[in-house]
Amino acid sequence: MTEMNPNEIDIVKAETSKIKSVDFSNLTFGRVFSDHMFVCDFEDGKWQTPKITPYQAMTIDPSARVFHYGQAVFEGMKAYKDDDGKIFLFRPDQNSARINKSSARLAIPEFPKDYFLNGLETLLKLDSDWIKPGLGNSLYIRPFVIATEPAISASPADTYRFMIICSPAKAYYNEPVRVLFAEKFSRSADGGVGFAKAAGNYAAQFYPTSLAQKKGFQQIIWTDASTHQYLEEAGTMNIFFRVGNKLITAPNNDRILDGVTRKSVLQLAKDMNMDYEVRRVSVEEIKEAAKDGSLKEIFGTGTAAVISPVSAFEHGGDVFEISPVEDSFAKLFKDTLMHIQHNLAEDAHGWRHEVI
Ligand code: COI
């Protein structure tokens, strides 16, 4: 087998750009896509020469495995532009590693890191006008892999498509979110796929989340599937609790997504000499802390959500409101992270990756 050159990409440029029709001051998350997309097919046991083409609909056989068995994984990343027009990614090696971890769990072949990064950087350079400078602006990047083989037998496909599409984005949540602590439904179980960014993990949350929304809560904080006594993650975000001045978050396990923002916040907490614990967090202790006034903050962390404060939670019919605090940790982490991402602060850990 001849080795493929990761720098080789067949590029067909869009004849005209859609960018003039986009109101960048009024974006709804994930509705508008940039001019180009990256596509690489896995056929005959190997990834073929990647392509960048104009963003467009595509034809996939109705029997493709992805439609029947959900053999699909994805990632979430962002590109940022500083005031000098330099483009940055944030810890992209983490996303490349994680999509392959997710793929391995779903029996999807790994996508080589150099194909991923070179493909993404080439795409970003073509669509660089879509990345607006300024804190809070970003181009959300959605890499994903789908099983394309036309056959409805319940087994891994022989053919796949790896793609990257991009969408200009501001905040995922515009307001603090109200959440329910899960008491009946579960997001994931031991030995399952909760740690993976498997498409089905998200679909499985839609119904319980729609029930929560009818009660006035935007999100669910998922609890462990066997006892529902321990708080795990929010589905679109990992979750942190501040009790007094101590920061607490659940440890990674096979039910929880290994969030890049989560691990960055933990590193920042360490850098700032904060008191923090990575351990199981019980529903009861958080309810007790809310009752005795020591629960200062709950916030979610994620690429899309960045840092998203929680303003109330419900459990067992009781609703606990969380009043905003002056010295908010959520705000401190959000500002610190965004300044690093936008090249406005020192990057002590080498998280920024310049797209050259
Ligand atoms: C992300 O934060 O990038 C995600 O993939 C979460 C998604 C629900 C928007």
Q: Which residues line ligand 1 (CB under 6 A)?
A: 76, 236, 302-305
CA of 293 to the centre of ligand 1 (A): 31
- Chain-centroid distance of CA 45 in Å reads 29
β-bridge pairing 306-315 and 295-302: antiparallel
Class of domain 177-341: alpha beta
**Per CATH, which fold does 10-169 belong to?**
D-amino Acid Aminotransferase; Chain A, domain 1 (3.30.470)
pLDDT at 120: 98
Mean pLDDT score, 286-301? 98
Ligand 1: which atom is nearest the Cα of residue 30?
Answer: 9
CA 186 to chain centre: 19
pLDDT bracket for residue 2 (50, 70, 90): very low
Residues 6+ apart with CB under 8 A from 52: 9, 10, 11, 12, 36, 37, 38, 39, 119, 122, 123, 126
Q: For residue 49, report the distance from its CA to the centre of ligand 1, in Å.
A: 28
> Cα(236) to centroid of ligand 1, in Å?
5
Which of 209, 238, 262, 303 is the best mutation target for the ligand 1 pocket, counting ligand atoms within 8 Å of the beta carbon and taking the most? 303
Characterize 308-333 residue by residue with b for buried, 16 or more Cβ atoms within 10 angstroms of its Cβ, and e for exposed: bbbbbbbbeeeebebeeeeebbbbbb
Domain assignments of the chain as residue spans, ordered by start: 10-169, 177-341
Residue 74 — very low, low, confident or very high, per pLDDT cuts 50/70/90?
Answer: very high
pLDDT in tens, 184-243: 999 999 999 999 999 999 999 999 999 999 999 999 999 999 999 999 999 899 999 999
- Provide the pLDDT confidence category of residue 1 given band limits of 50, 70 and 90: very low
Label the pairing between strands 36-43 and 51-54. antiparallel
Rg, the chain, Cα only: 21
Q: How far apart are CA 109 and CA 160, in angstroms?
A: 8
Tell me the average pLDDT across 235-260: 96
**What is the number of the ligand 1 atom nearest to the C-alpha of 77?**
3
Residue closest via CA to ligand 1's atom 7 equals 236
